[in-house]
Structure formats: C-alpha cells, structure tokens
C-alpha cells in the first residue's frame, strides 16, 4: 500500500497550458504539503494545508492554486505554464508538524 | 526565519569507509531534526531523526548527533555500501521544515 501517492509521475506540456497534479495519502495525517525541487535538487516548500485549511503559502506565483477537497487529498493546479515551472513537484504529509512523508514526485517538463 | 546550511555538497568515499554530513541551523527554538535519503527518481525517504532533548541516536550503520549549543547536527554512516549512494538532506523544524541544500554521496565499490 502506497502511503503518499501522486499522479501523474511525468507530465510534459506546452507553455501556456493549464495542468493539475493530484496527491493522496492514506496515513491518516492531517497536514499536507507541496514542494518544488529544481535541477540543483533544492527542496522549496510551496504550500501547506492542515485539515483542509491553508497554513503556509510561500512566495509562489498565483498561477499555482492548491485545492484540498478533504484531509487525504491535496491537488495542485497550475495555470499558464511557463518554462521556469519545469521541476519535480513533491507532495508530502504529516501529523501536525511532525515527520513528513514524501510522495514519489511528479516531473513536470514545460516545452 | 530558520536557515539551514549543509556541507559538503558532494562526498565521495570508498566502500567500507565512513561518511559524515554536517548541518548548522540558526534558530535555537528548532526542536526536530530529520534526515532524508533521496535515491534517483524517487521521493525523499526519512532515514533517521533526532529531537532536541537527545544528543545522539543510532540505527544500525546510521547515527545522528546533535549539539544544541553550537546549533549543529551531523549524519554518520559507517561501513558504507554502494546502495548508500544518494542525495541526503537534513532539516530543522519547529512548526515548519527548513531543508538543507543536499549532499550527493557517492560510494565507490
């Protein structure tokens, strides 16, 4: 059983398109996150939700919009994709602010 | 906010040798310090963690030490094996995780 899952694993799209990445966790956690990992491997937090409420919103363009339909899901929608959005996006979850468990990542390539 | 620095950025060791990765943090209120291993094409996986009320923790070939006074913590891997080759991240947390920049460890057979 996968603890934190993401779909799709790979996403290749054209500049200007809109795309979504889905994340689900079956760990019973109440907090979920989105991270962006660039080509230099640096992990940068984008958003955090606790019990479906946004608690962390780093300096991220408003083209990025997270949505949490319930505690087990946190989706990321990206409008008007740009070349600089190419990266690996990781979803993670935790119980409150304790240990975070990461998903396998979604490699986004914008052409 | 918190600032976590991690060194070295790359580390190459011979199989069987030890590897040490060091991190420093700036916020003395941080109280939780996990270490993650990221293999190629996968997400970061927790390998060991330590809380601020403990100075050292060991799990088989992996150990972590914490010096709260100096605000630094280290990951020690003994008897390294080729499958230890990966990128390792440290993090410091109070209510939010702050990650180091990662160390690429290469274990040569």
pLDDT in tens, B82-101: 999 999 999 999 888 999 99
Residue A2 has pLDDT above 80, yes or no: no
Residue A54 has pLDDT above 80, yes or no: yes
User: Who among B34, B43, B49 is closest to A103 (CB)?
Assistant: B43
- Of all residues in chain A, the one with the smallest CA distance to B94 is A97
Q: Longest C-alpha distance within chain A, in Å? A: 37
- Taking residues B36-51, report their average pLDDT: 96
Residue B53 has pLDDT above 90, yes or no: no
- Of all residues in chain A, the one with the smallest CA distance to B101 is A42
Residue A99 has pLDDT above 70, yes or no: yes
Tell me whether residues B95 and A97 touch, CB distance under 8 A.
Answer: yes
pLDDT at residue A48, rounded to an integer:
92
Residue A66 has pLDDT above 70, yes or no: yes
Residues of chain A with C-beta less than 8 angstroms from the C-beta of B46: 99-101
Q: Give residues with Cβ within 8 angstroms of B95, minimum separation 6.
A: A97
User: Who among B43, B95, B96 is closest to A90 (CB)?
Assistant: B43
Among A10-14, A93-97, B17-21, B58-62, the range scoring the smallest mean pLDDT is: A93-97
User: What is the average pLDDT value for chain B, to the nearest integer?
Assistant: 96
Tell me whether residues B89 and A43 touch, CB distance under 8 A.
Answer: yes
Q: What are the tokens at A17? A: 């398109």
Q: Give residues with Cβ within 8 angstroms of B61, minimum separation 6.
A: B77, B78, B79, B80
- Taking residues B64-82, report their average pLDDT: 97
pLDDT at residue A1, rounded to an integer:
63
Residue A84 confidence class, pLDDT cut points 50, 70, 90:
very high
pLDDT at residue B19, rounded to an integer:
98
CB-based contacts of B45-49 (< 8 A; 24+ apart in sequence): B45/A102, B46/A99, B46/A100, B46/A101, B47/B88, B48/B75, B49/A99
């Amino acid at each position: 059983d996968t603890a934190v899952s993401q779909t799709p694993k790979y996403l290749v799209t054209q500049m200007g398109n809109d795309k979504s990445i889905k994340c689900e966790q079956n760990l019973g956690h109440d907090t979920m996150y989105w991270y962006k990992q660039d080509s230099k491997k640096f992990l940068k937090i984008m958003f955090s939700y606790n019990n479906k409420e946004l608690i962390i919103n780093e300096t991220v363009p408003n083209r990025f919009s997270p949505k949490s339909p319930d505690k087990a899901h946190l989706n990321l929608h990206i409008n008007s994709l740009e070349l600089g959005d190419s990266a690996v996006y990781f979803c993670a979850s935790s119980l409150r602010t304790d240990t975070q468990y990461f998903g396998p990542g979604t490699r986004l390539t914008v052409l | 906010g918190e600032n976590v620095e991690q060194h070295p950025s790359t580390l190459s060791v011979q199989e069987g040798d030890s590897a040490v990765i060091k991190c420093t943090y700036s916020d003395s209120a941080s109280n939780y310090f996990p270490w993650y291993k990221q293999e190629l094409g996968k997400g970061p996986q927790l390998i060991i963690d330590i809380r601020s009320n403990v100075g050292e923790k060991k799990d088989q070939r992996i150990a972590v030490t914490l010096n709260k006074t100096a605000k630094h913590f280290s990951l020690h891997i003994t008897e390294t094996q080729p499958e230890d080759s990966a990128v390792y991240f440290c993090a410091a947390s109070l209510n939010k995780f702050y990650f180091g920049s990662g160390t690429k460890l290469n274990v040569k057979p």
